[in-house]
Amino acid sequence: MGACGSTGENTERKKLKEDDLPEENRSKKYADNKAESQPSNVPVTEPGPVATKNQMLAPVKEKEKEKQTEKKAIQDEGNKLDDNKRIFMDTPLKLPPELPGLNREKSIWVLGDKSKAKAPKNDYTFIKRLGNPGQFGEAWRCIRKKDGTECAVKKIAKARFMSDPRRATKYLTAFSAEIQIMERIDHKYCIKFHEAFEDSNYLYMAMELCTGGELFDRIIEKKKHTEHEAADTLYMLFQGLEYIHHHGLAHCDLKPDNFLFLDKSPNSPIKIIDFGMAKPVHPHQYHKQFCGTPYYVAPEIINQRGYNLSCDMWSMGVIMFLMLFGYPPFHSRKKKEGNAGHREIFEKIKKGFEPVVRKGYGPWFPTHVKVSSEARDLMARLMEMDTSKRITADEALNHPWFTKSKDLDTELDGRVLASLKDFRKAGKFKHMLLGALAGLNDPDSKLLDDQEEKMLMDVLSHLDENRDGYVSVAELQKALNSTMCRDEILRITKLVDITGDEQISIEELSMVYLDRKISAKEERLWHAFTNLDITGNMKLSIDDIKKALKAVKGVSYTEEEIESAFRQADLDGNGHIDYDEFLYLWGSKNAPPRPNSEAHRMMSSRSSKDRLEIKSSRTEPREAKAT
């Protein structure tokens, strides 16, 4: 459901017409279809003055202050994401109970029960309806009385889904989940949620009012964007997407209709809206329920193989293509309406995107529109069929297309420096395996592509001031800009330095970068595990590890070193390392050991021990003082 426009349109709303799209009429076809269903927005005004405080409102204000303080704890400022806090992984959504029997004469309460309901006229002044009514209700421009803030309020009619108990339960769950999701999100490029309330007839959802129109509208207005314009907009969207993905949430319906500009200024921030289909994604979990809009839906959703956060990245690739070329890569060329046209689009999506320059219109780059090689590369990585190779939001933000379009520093990739800092957590056995994985050269097994290898060489060249082909401790400390003390940098260098020469080579830098890349996705962790599993029996033996380490360039481990490290990684002492033990030693927050495994029990035990140690360290001074 849209956050600030019409309400209730699901996956079938605002579709392009599935007829042939000649070049000169492509943007017009988009505009004609868009005008049939999408309402315009109303300009926003600055918030009014805050009401005067008094004793009667003091408790309310204090409660609101506490709520804002709590939200600030999860707020992302400048994409500084806390790896230890994942708001959708740490705290599950509370789903409403089943509805045993529904009496049409009675209402249902999305937010709990009747005692929590309140009349909207007490807190909001409804000014003007925004656009046309949707499937379940309508959106209004309102003023919140207590502080004069203008906002958009979605007014959802409960009667539309109360006649059938199963239908009522479905939508009750969906609305409740959407509200809980929006209450937790707090990012400058995601729509800001104020509150939800209800009465016996309607559910109301109040959020910030965006008046700059949809990205869809600007695409139609401009027909296509320059690369610089597109980069500015997409960079904001990828920041918002990185935030929700970091916290374990997949949007599942990204499209130009679901991006709103805050105002009509050329430099307006853009907001991700409509979290009605969003789904929390937990480690080892893949959703199968179909969702999304035909032109933008990922192939794994259509194939029902199971999908996770990666489905959003595919959608972003389609959106980027549309912005730069003015038409979607997957569309129906015949005059088919409804499901027939959708089936044709789905079949094309299942065949994938061909990252070559060709004549004509289709899932490839057209010859008549010139874009940079960096833009084509980013789109190809976003519309990659293999989800283990499809890039993440974090990786997209560091892609050369953004660094060049936005005049960022192209010599020092932020991922490399972040990888060096994260590498402090690596253990001895993981350190060995990274060396083996970084040395893979087979095209099917290789985990670093040509662009990444070139990027790493550029980083090494930039760090290597004396041009000896290595990075010294002093050179690394200068690059980190004194964000770490020398002792910490020495420790990182010793961990990374597998050759023992007290400096970092290109092979060692690749190993560090690879650690962060593999940890970002469970699909990549599985790919790494199967590459090391030479015998193919789904577990790593000491012989597998010895064979893999033979390929490590410029270093050799003794039998005693390998066996000692292997014994530490073999948690249950049965002579092999299974997938869960592999996940345990890797330590990725995105894919911990699976529940009920020995590795998971050990991880839980270790976490409990750490919490007890922290608690003990906090209480000891108090006890000493009391004594």
CA atoms of 505 and 573, how far apart (whole Å):
35
Bridge partners (DSSP) of residue 601 are none
pTM: 0.76
**Max avg pLDDT among 61-65, 86-90, 204-208, 223-227:** 204-208
User: Residue 372: pLDDT band by 50, 70, 90 thresholds?
Assistant: very high
Q: What is the pLDDT of residue 35?
A: 36
Do 344 and 418 fall within a single domain?
no
In this structure, are residues 295 and 318 in contact, taking their beta carbons and an 8 Å threshold? Answer: yes
Half-sphere exposure of 499 (CA within 13 A, CB side): 14
> Worst-scoring range by mean pLDDT, 120-134, 459-473, 530-544, 612-626?
612-626
User: How far are the Cα atoms of 121, 291, 457, 517 from residue 416, in angstroms, in the given order?
Assistant: 54, 35, 11, 10
Do 244 and 383 fall within a single domain?
yes
Q: What is the CATH number of the domain that holds 291?
A: 1.10.510.10
Closest CA to 276 of 500, 13, 471, 85: 13
Closest CA to 342 of 2, 9, 10, 16: 16
Average pLDDT over residues 6-33: 38
Total number of residues shown for the chain:
627
Beta pairing class for 202-208 and 259-261: unpaired
Q: Does some domain include residue 49?
A: no
Q: What is the pLDDT of residue 132?
A: 77
User: Residue 349: pLDDT band by 50, 70, 90 thresholds?
Assistant: very high
CB neighbours of residue 389 within 10 Å: 15
> At residue 86, does pLDDT exceed 80?
no
In this structure, are residues 460 and 471 in contact, taking their beta carbons and an 8 Å threshold? Answer: yes
Half-sphere exposure of 113 (CA within 13 A, CB side): 1
Q: What is the CATH number of the domain that holds 170?
A: 3.30.200.20
Do 341 and 467 fall within a single domain?
no
> Worst-scoring range by mean pLDDT, 70-74, 310-314, 542-546?
70-74
CA atoms of 6 and 69, how far apart (whole Å):
32
Do 289 and 425 fall within a single domain?
no
Q: Does some domain include residue 179?
A: yes
Copy the structure tokens of residue 289.
Answer: 């329920």
Task: Name every residue whose Cβ is closer than 8 Å to that of residue 65 and which is 6 or more positions away in sequence.
Answer: none
Helix (H) or strand (E) holding 246: helix 227-246
> At residue 244, does pLDDT exceed 70?
yes
Q: Does some domain include residue 99?
A: no
354 class by beta-carbon count within 10 Å (0-12 exposed, 13-18 middle, 19+ buried):
middle
> Worst-scoring range by mean pLDDT, 110-124, 553-567, 611-625?
611-625
Do 252 and 269 fall within a single domain?
yes
Do 341 and 294 fall within a single domain?
yes
Q: What is the pLDDT of residue 505?
A: 81
User: How far are the Cα atoms of 355, 446, 456, 504, 521 from residue 512, in angstroms, in the given order?
Assistant: 29, 15, 10, 10, 16
Q: What is the pLDDT of residue 556?
A: 72
Do 433 and 543 fall within a single domain?
yes
Average pLDDT over residues 175-196: 93
Q: Does some domain include residue 67?
A: no
Domain boundary among 353, 371, 404: 404
Q: What is the pLDDT of residue 605?
A: 66
Bridge partners (DSSP) of residue 307 are 287
> At residue 106, does pLDDT exceed 80?
no
Q: Does some domain include residue 564?
A: yes
Average pLDDT over residues 30-45: 36
Q: What is the pLDDT of residue 626?
A: 36
**Max avg pLDDT among 115-129, 220-234, 307-321, 396-410:** 307-321
Q: What is the pLDDT of residue 347?
A: 93
Do 374 and 294 fall within a single domain?
yes
CA atoms of 8 and 199, how far apart (whole Å):
18
Do 204 and 217 fall within a single domain?
no
Closest CA to 190 of 87, 43, 65: 87
Do 360 and 227 fall within a single domain?
yes
Do 184 and 306 fall within a single domain?
no
Is 610 marked active-site?
Answer: no
User: Residue 379: pLDDT band by 50, 70, 90 thresholds?
Assistant: very high
Q: What is the pLDDT of residue 190?
A: 96
The total number of structural domains that make up the chain: 3
Domain boundary among 386, 404, 422: 404
Q: What is the pLDDT of residue 384?
A: 96
- List helix spans (H) across 533-597: 542-549, 559-569, 579-586
305 class by beta-carbon count within 10 Å (0-12 exposed, 13-18 middle, 19+ buried):
exposed
> Worst-scoring range by mean pLDDT, 94-103, 116-125, 226-235, 579-588?
94-103
In this structure, are residues 533 and 539 in contact, taking their beta carbons and an 8 Å threshold? Answer: yes
Q: What is the pLDDT of residue 391?
A: 95
Q: What is the CATH number of the domain that holds 516?
A: 1.10.238.10
Please report, as a single letter, which amino acid is at residue 597. S
- Tokens 């926003």, residue? 44
Q: Does some domain include residue 187?
A: yes
**Considering 76, 253, 497, 544, which one is annotated as catalytic?**
253
Beta pairing class for 124-130 and 137-144: antiparallel
Please report, as a single letter, which amino acid is at residue 626. A
Q: If you average pLDDT over every residue of the chain, what do you get?
A: 77
CB neighbours of residue 275 within 10 Å: 25
User: Residue 364: pLDDT band by 50, 70, 90 thresholds?
Assistant: very high
Average pLDDT over residues 478-491: 67
Q: Does some domain include residue 267?
A: yes
Radius of gyration for the alpha carbons in the chain, expressed in angstroms and rounded: 27
* Strand, coil or helix: 156: strand
> At residue 98, does pLDDT exceed 60?
no
- Tokens 């993905």, residue? 245
User: Residue 59: pLDDT band by 50, 70, 90 thresholds?
Assistant: low
Domain boundary among 173, 208, 243: 208
Bridge partners (DSSP) of residue 137 are 156
- For helices 428-438 and 559-569, the axis angle rounded to 10 degrees is 110
Closest CA to 282 of 249, 304, 244: 249
Q: What is the pLDDT of residue 407?
A: 56
Q: What is the pLDDT of residue 446?
A: 78
In terms of residue numbers, what domain contains 135? 114-208
Q: What is the pLDDT of residue 14?
A: 38
Q: Is the dihedral of CA 426, 431, 437, 439 positive or negative?
A: positive
Q: What is the pLDDT of residue 66?
A: 55
Q: Does some domain include residue 42?
A: no
CA atoms of 273 and 136, how far apart (whole Å):
17
> At residue 274, does pLDDT exceed 80?
yes
User: How far are the Cα atoms of 134, 537, 559 from residue 556, in angstroms, in the given order?
Assistant: 67, 26, 10
Q: What is the pLDDT of residue 366?
A: 94
Do 379 and 246 fall within a single domain?
yes
Average pLDDT over residues 412-436: 70
